[in-house]
Amino acid sequence: MSLSLAQKTIISSATRGRRGALRPSYNLEPPHYDGIQSLAVQGNTLFSGSRDFCIKKWDLSNHSLGQSLNSAHKDWICALDFHPGSGALLSGCRAGYLKMWNPETCTQIAEIRAHTSPINAIATNSTAIFTASKYVYEHVIY
């Protein structure tokens, strides 16, 4: 299966298995120590967030680990996204904290307590960061 946009392959080389599951064309090593909760991709860089409190930066061009941010949060990492204006990586955790990271150096830029419950999703546009939690309302962070 492959998905292409403007003559460039985004997702490729997956084959359908016996029960309808897609088999990976390669594995990224070393793996997380617990389940992966979130992914964010920008160009040839993939970030993965896990229940092991770790964010990993992967180089998709050579299928290798670029950097591992161990203890990036003090709880499960539930959401990842990129801010389109700055290119910063955003991460949200089960404790309700939102962090901003420099995606090149993987250094933390900022941190805010956005919710008192898990951040389940992050969405952005050029002027705002939206976070979703168990409550009916969403936070809009400028």
- Give pLDDT tens digits for 1-12: 233 333 333 333
Domains of the chain with bracketed CATH: 27-141 (2.130.10.10)
Confidence of residue 137 (pLDDT cuts 50, 70, 90): low
Q: What is the pLDDT of residue 4?
A: 31
Closest by alpha carbon to 105, among 65, 69, 70, 129?
69
* Contact present, 54 and 68 (Cβ < 8 Å): yes
* Contact present, 65 and 56 (Cβ < 8 Å): yes
Burial class for 90, CB neighbours closer than 10 Å (0-12, 13-18, 19+): buried
Q: What is the pLDDT of residue 127?
A: 86
